[in-house]
């Protein structure tokens, strides 16, 4: 048939090859963002070249040139199917790249099979040339069955991998896998129809080569529609690379497809170490608690690092919703709010601490002491209150000045805090008075604590440039007396403290009922 008569068919093939090449280039240009771009581009580019070669085979008049094409066509055909196999393998098994244990043997076997075509002039077992009506026709030989078997092996392996992925997937991921399955079934069915049943409705078009356009188009649509090119427009409106919050975007498979510099800084990983890796691997390496929150489907979690000083992070996790109304990926935002937490802690300390002595203030004392008192009433456990009043403190202010008086208060508070337990609440009660609540402490043990504090205060004279300081103390205890209140208990310790004053100061007195 004259070339002019074949022109519509030739233009269709060239258009198909161009479209396949454009899609391949488009995906490859986004190789840093699109998963499996390398294997896809290999398949699409070789498929485009395959279409071009079979088109040239139909119009070249020179037998020598056509024989060169017959050497090249098996190479690009098998390279197309090899790219298809690699893509299916990476997609089905969620691989970042094809393992070398599979990559190298497959590439070597492909070269070996194509070598049968290149060496055909030596053995003539791949094809022979027959003249039919004055035209040179390629007659396939015994070795062609090897190429045909390898062709169906690659296609069958790819199909099996995608069927597996389809059965294991759901939702949008299943729709994506379904598109890939349709894309691979088209050339397989067309090849079976032409090779086995001699089906050829378009005699001047190589149907298996032409059908690759549908595979490339559907694969490209499934890759871009459900992967990075679809997700990034959804997320990019809220992603600014220079924002303070760390941003991670995952695709539907849970692979990280985007990370901004702030996220890389927080995770202490490079972009290469984050992108294209499962989000679970990233989170567990950073903070195991973050992975637990991710698996539990939590929307927000506060995290604390184990380092010193501790770092605080707020992690939020949200689904990215596509046009169909279902999740197509996830957006994770991580923010280092250590400064905020430290500021809140400082504000809280200001709210509960006496600014001069750094001891707890009276309000906070009552807040904790009430909790201890209720526990005492409920479980009949001992609670002791110690009231401390510095002796002749006005004389110290009048003699040495208020600056020295403030220093005395600070040193007394510091030494007392250093000698009490963590559960005990030591507070400045007012002026030169301090108060101490001691849960789970009997009267006998409370008196021992009071005596230890009294001696420590008396020993401060050497640290205060000769200023003599002593304290009078009173101790009261309750063991869950139902008719007693916290205020009454504190008043009892205050009465006992005044008994110490009247007895000569610088001593400890226990409260005793007047009825005794």
Active site residues: 432
**Cα gap 337→139, rounded to integer Å:** 74
> Strand locations in 227-377, DSSP E?
246-251, 256-259, 300-304, 312-321, 327-336
The structure tokens listed for 81 are: 């199917």
Both ends of the chain: CA-CA distance in Å?
130
- Show the CA angle centred on residue 30, arms to residues 24 and 35, nearest 5°: 85
Q: What is the number of other CB atoms lying within 10 angstroms of the CB of residue 262?
A: 20
The structure tokens listed for 423 are: 């559960």
Which residues lie below 8 Å from residue 93, measured CB to CB, with a gap of 6+? Answer: 161
H/E stretch holding 140 reads: strand 135-140
The structure tokens listed for 273 are: 């170490």
Secondary structure, 3-state, 75-130: HHHHHHHHHHHHHHHHHHHCCCCCCHHHHHHHHHHHHHHHHHHHCHHHHCCCEEEE
**Cα gap 127→147, rounded to integer Å:** 12
- Summarize the chain as % helix, strand, coil (round to 5): 60, 15, 25
**Cα gap 260→338, rounded to integer Å:** 20
Burial 30-45 (b: 16+ CB within 10 A, else e): eeebbbbbbbbbbbbb
Longest dimension (CA), the chain: 136
């Amino acid at each position: 048939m004259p070339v002019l008569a074949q022109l519509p068919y030739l233009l269709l093939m060239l258009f198909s090859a161009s479209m396949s090449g454009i899609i391949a280039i488009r995906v490859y240009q986004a190789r840093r963002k699109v998963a499996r771009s390398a294997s896809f581009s290999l398949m699409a580019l070789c498929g485009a070249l395959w279409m071009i070669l079979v088109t040239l085979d139909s119009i070249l008049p020179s037998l020598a040139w056509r024989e060169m094409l017959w050497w090249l066509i098996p190479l690009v055909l098998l390279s197309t199917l090899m790219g298809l196999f690699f893509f299916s393998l990476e997609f089905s098994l969620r691989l970042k790249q094809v393992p070398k244990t599979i990559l190298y043997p497959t590439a070597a076997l492909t070269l070996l099979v194509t070598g049968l075509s290149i060496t055909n002039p030596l053995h003539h077992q791949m094809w022979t040339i027959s003249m039919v009506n004055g035209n040179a026709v390629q007659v396939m030989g015994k070795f062609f069955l090897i190429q045909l078997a390898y062709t169906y092996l690659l296609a069958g392996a790819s199909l099996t991998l995608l069927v597996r992925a389809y059965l294991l997937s759901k939702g949008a991921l299943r729709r994506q896998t379904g598109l890939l399955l349709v894309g691979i079934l088209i050339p397989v069915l067309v090849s079976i129809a032409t090779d086995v049943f001699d089906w050829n409705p378009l005699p001047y078009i190589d149907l298996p080569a032409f059908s690759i356009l549908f595979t490339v188009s559907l694969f490209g649509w499934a890759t871009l529609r459900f992967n990075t090119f679809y997700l990034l427009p959804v997320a990019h409106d809220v992603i600014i690379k220079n924002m303070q919050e760390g941003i991670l975007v995952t695709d539907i498979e849970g692979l990280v497809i985007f990370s901004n510099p702030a996220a890389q800084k927080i995770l202490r990983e490079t972009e290469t170490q984050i992108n294209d890796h499962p989000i679970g691997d990233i989170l567990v390496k950073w903070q195991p608690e973050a992975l637990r929150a991710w698996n539990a489907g939590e929307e927000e979690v506060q995290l604390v690092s184990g380092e010193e000083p501790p770092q605080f992070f707020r992690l939020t996790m949200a689904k990215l919703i596509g046009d169909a109304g279902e999740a197509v990926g996830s957006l994770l935002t991580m923010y280092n709010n250590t400064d905020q937490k430290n500021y809140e802690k400082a504000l809280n300390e200001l709210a509960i601490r006496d600014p001069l002595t750094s001891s707890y203030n009276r309000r906070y004392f009552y807040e904790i002491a009430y909790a201890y008192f209720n526990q005492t009433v409920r479980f009949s456990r001992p609670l002791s209150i110690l009231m401390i009043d510095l002796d002749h403190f006005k004389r110290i202010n009048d003699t040495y000045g208020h600056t020295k008086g403030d220093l005395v208060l600070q040193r007394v508070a510091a030494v007392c805090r250093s000698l009490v337990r963590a559960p005990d609440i030591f507070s400045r009660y007012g002026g030169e008075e301090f108060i101490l609540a001691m849960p789970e402490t009997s009267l006998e043990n409370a008196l021992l604590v009071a005596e230890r504090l009294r001696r420590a205060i008396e020993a401060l004279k050497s640290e205060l440039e000769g200023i003599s300081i002593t304290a009078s103390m009173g101790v009261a205890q309750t063991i869950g007396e139902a008719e007693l209140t916290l205020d009454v208990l504190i008043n009892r310790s205050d009465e006992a403290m005044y008994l110490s004053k009247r007895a000569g100061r610088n001593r400890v007195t226990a409260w005793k009922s007047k009825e005794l």
